[in-house]
Amino acid sequence: MSKKTLVFLFVSQIVLVILGLFIYHKFVFEKPHILHTGHNSFTSQISRPNLDTKTDYIHPTASIIGKVHIGHKVLISPQASIRGDEGSPLWIGNNSNVQDGVVIHALETEEHGQEIEKDLKEVNGKKYAVYIGNNVSLAHQSQVHGPAVVLDNTFIGMQALVFNATVGQNCVIEPAAKIIGVDIPDHKYVKAGSIITSPEQVKALQNIDANYKFKDLNKAVVHVNTELAETYNKLYGY
């Protein structure tokens, strides 16, 4: 075998290895964990997440499982976990963002094919384990655990929790606040670190007015994250 042939084979092997690593990195390693469910006592139908591959961006370290709908221009950031494998369906509306380390999960909504009604919430005539509206921001390490609803144009702050609750439109839940077992009306804000678990506490909440320092926060956050979703989608795919 000639020297030229040996060199050609050697170079070919190097090129193939590099090409293989590129393909793995681009199409396997860089893809997020998007998984369908399996059959068990609380999942009678196999479901796979539904998303807009042309405008959404889902970071490779994020995980989305089961019956999950993701709207247009949605950014799913690193280490986010959206699991529709116990309670489902989960819904995330257009232009919303799920930031770093956010968890969206829900209690069982089905057992042996029978609906568990108490663990579902109705929005616009349809039932959801978790419903996140349009233009909603779920800031870093916040949790929305179903049954739960967060309506349009609302900001859920860093490390806040919404569980077995509904948060209305145009609300601000400041960082580390806990909303459990109550319904927050539209245009209210909850102070940082507050724990809201009773109707009396809800009645005492203040309206967002011109003097509230975070009144425009969500609008700004949504603006940044929708552009990031589109930019990263163009650069890296969904």
DSSP sequence for 41-75: TTB-S----B--TTT-EE-TT-EEEESEEE-TT-E
**pLDDT over 70 percentage in the chain:** 88
Q: Catalytic: 200?
A: no
Residue of 38 and 97 predicted with greater confidence? 97
- From the candidates 30, 86, 110, 230, which is the catalytic residue? 86
Of 9-18, 24-33, 86-95, 156-165, the one with minimum mean pLDDT is: 24-33
Evaluated on CA atoms 226, 57, 60, 135, the torsion sign reads positive
Q: Catalytic: 110?
A: no
Q: Are 63 and 76 in contact (CB under 8 A)?
A: no
- From the candidates 108, 110, 122, 230, which is the catalytic residue? 108
Global pTM reads 0.86
Residue position matching structure tokens 């069982």: 108
